[in-house]
Structure 1
């Protein structure tokens, strides 16, 4: 490597360091609060980031915050692939797999139609529907990274992350009660919780609060939903390429590199060659990358912008959540 290239790398690192380390500090504070007060770490990261948004204005931190919200986010999403194995999916049989595919496709389709009816762009429906149907904040961030640039995309992404994080917390408390009210068996309760709660952490909390069997089943079903992230990203990029949705003429790649990384890691993890300690390290690194990047994303937004969103997006996300619960209960009643 030439000396000029090394100088450029050093200069770039110095430019990005302040914003990156500020994001790390905010993410660390969010993690501390989450561990001590029980609320979703993503929600704390967003709120703390928004409180520090003055750092993203023109200054030393701006470039690093922009980099963290973009590049570190993609790394975190790619590393999510280490949570998935084909064996996990095979152990439950074909019915839960079919149920997951049906609810993901149906929820996103209904969300896109509902968004259009409420006067939003279809892309917003795809974003909120994907977050509701797949894996909450992680899916919202992944879909936002795959979709074309739009002036309102960051604000829509932030609102979606806040919405699914809040709804996940409510679901973790309420859904076990619903499972008991419908007298679901431990495995059925696990399928219900894993197929409806947005974020992985809340699925684990709700599942194991009922029983070990319910928790194990809920976790595997939830990871099956996470596995749907790849085909949904592929479909989203295909649709936006066909529509030419980006006014700048730039179109997202057919399969973004972070999605390729997700697939490669899922395949490697399925071989069984990866030691549990390595899996745990990669999963923890993925979690930190997502928390750090969402802290940066929070710093890039202005709270007054979120305040202008209005009631319709809230109704859309609540409606998507209720639809998902009703559809899963109906499919379980039909024998899935």
Structure 2
């Protein structure tokens, strides 16, 4: 019995040490990406992807592989769970009824449009769902969360990485171009906030675009964007229920042991509730938000290491057309909402 008691902690320690090289490697990539982003601008998620892909030759390294796998599949769940601290139900009231309906419609219609466009382009529905959810909700974070609800496998990882790259690229382009649209069309502060917060993919790019115009537009855009982030919760819950049997079938006996609603999603819901009730100190929210970002950027770095440029090039032009179509659709939709609201209140 003494031998078993001693060997059990030892086996756990050995298992942990096997993860260290890969985890540290992905963390270094994430740190490098964050440094480049802070010094020269641009999205750190995209930098982490590209730097990781440059080190694809280490994906099959026996020492690094276990840690890379954990970073790609486990850390994303921690990062998504901690996103809950950035959301409060009270934020919904500040947007107004029209804004809430319009933003909820943007999420639902973009996902439906993406599924339809993927079918027209003869692409897998999984890619349509990932790209539509990422475009409609909150960029790479949504892509990673939605990916965790789908049957796991090489195809899932491949499509998730492709979506992440495309969303990061189009979101950065939107951050530069959409403020020019706001100025050219003479949008008011509330209209500009609704358009930017409803049409740009990632939170960081929404903030950047809004504050390029003014502080008030930046605040309004951020609020609208956070409502879209809040839509991640019901979307992920629905997808978890829809794909539960598919994940079980794809995962074999181990998948059969998985709960219907995973722990990370329950933590996400709990943190939203606690934050809405004012139970989380500002310091806890700040630390948890930063930790969430680090988990997600390390995870996306790991996905980058696992995928090569050659594999992405084999996909052709259709996925690019899908992501571009989604970006144009949600921007056109939000502009139409802005002008219809203007006519209604005139």
TM range (shorter): over 0.9
Distance change >3 Å, CA 200–CA 244, structure 1 → 2: closer
Distance change >3 Å, CA 127–CA 270, structure 1 → 2: same
In 2, Cα distance between equivalents of 1:244 and 1:81: 24
Distance change >3 Å, CA 2–CA 248, structure 1 → 2: closer
Q: In the alignment, is the contact (CA less than 8 A) between 1:84 and 1:223 conserved in 2? A: yes
Asked if residue 166 in structure 1 is aligned to residue 169 in structure 2, the reply is yes
In 1, Cα distance between equivalents of 2:61 and 2:269: 37
Q: In the alignment, is the contact (CA less than 8 A) between 1:23 and 1:65 conserved in 2? A: yes
Structure-to-structure mapping, 1:1-336, within 5 angstroms: 2-241=5-244, 247=250, 250=255, 253-335=259-341
**3-state SS of the aligned residue for 1:135?**
coil
In 2, Cα distance between equivalents of 1:21 and 1:58: 14
**3-state SS of the aligned residue for 1:85?**
coil
**3-state SS of the aligned residue for 2:50?**
helix
Q: In the alignment, is the contact (CA less than 8 A) between 2:151 and 2:251 conserved in 1? A: no
Q: In the alignment, is the contact (CA less than 8 A) between 1:150 and 1:246 conserved in 2? A: no
Q: In the alignment, is the contact (CA less than 8 A) between 1:176 and 1:210 conserved in 2? A: yes
**3-state SS of the aligned residue for 2:38?**
helix
Root-mean-square deviation (Å)? 1.8
Residue segments in structure 2 that go unaligned for 5+ positions in a row: none
In 2, Cα distance between equivalents of 1:87 and 1:121: 38
In 2, Cα distance between equivalents of 1:204 and 1:227: 16
Deviation at 1:169, TM superposition (A): 0.7
Q: In the alignment, is the contact (CA less than 8 A) between 1:80 and 1:262 conserved in 2? A: yes
**3-state SS of the aligned residue for 1:152?**
helix
TM-score by length of structure 1 reads 0.95
In 2, Cα distance between equivalents of 1:254 and 1:334: 41
Segment drifting more, 161-170 vs 255-264: 255-264
Deviation at 1:255, TM superposition (A): 2.6
TM-score by length of structure 2 reads 0.93
Deviation at 1:217, TM superposition (A): 1.0
Deviation at 1:5, TM superposition (A): 2.7
Deviation at 1:3, TM superposition (A): 2.9
Q: In the alignment, is the contact (CA less than 8 A) between 1:158 and 1:298 conserved in 2? A: yes
Q: Deviations over 1:223-244 (max 9, x none)?
A: 1101111111122233334778
Residue segments in structure 1 that go unaligned for 5+ positions in a row: none
In 1, Cα distance between equivalents of 2:61 and 2:95: 52
Deviation at 1:273, TM superposition (A): 2.5
In 1, Cα distance between equivalents of 2:57 and 2:322: 30
Distance change >3 Å, CA 179–CA 234, structure 1 → 2: same
Q: Deviations over 1:218-272 (max 9, x none)?
A: 1111111011111111222333347789555657754332222111111111111
Q: In the alignment, is the contact (CA less than 8 A) between 2:152 and 2:247 conserved in 1? A: no
In 2, Cα distance between equivalents of 1:325 and 1:253: 37
**3-state SS of the aligned residue for 1:334?**
helix
In 1, Cα distance between equivalents of 2:203 and 2:293: 11
Segment drifting more, 118-127 vs 76-85: 118-127
In 2, Cα distance between equivalents of 1:100 and 1:326: 13
Alignment length, in residue pairs? 336
**3-state SS of the aligned residue for 2:103?**
helix
